Amino acid sequence: MERITKSIRFPKKLEARISEYQKQNEISTFTQALFELVRTALETKGF
């Protein structure tokens, strides 16, 4: 899979929620946790 770099800023509360998800699911990186959350949301919406 080809990857591109994007720089984004998160509200502190959202970053904390993603980090908590990462810990609870034993995901090694913040980026991987974010990928998983985005992929799940897109699939739920039919994309």
Domain boundaries, the chain: 12-44
pLDDT at 2 over 90: yes
What pTM was computed for the model? 0.86
Estimate to the nearest angstrom the gap between the alpha carbon of 15 and the chain centroid. Answer: 9
Residue pLDDT, tens place only, 14-46: 999 999 999 999 999 999 999 999 999 999 999
pLDDT at 10 over 90: yes
pLDDT, residue 17, reads 98
pLDDT, residue 44, reads 97
Distance from C-alpha of 2 to C-alpha of 17, rounded to nearest angstrom: 27
Contact status, residue 37 vs residue 21, Cβ threshold 8 Å:
yes
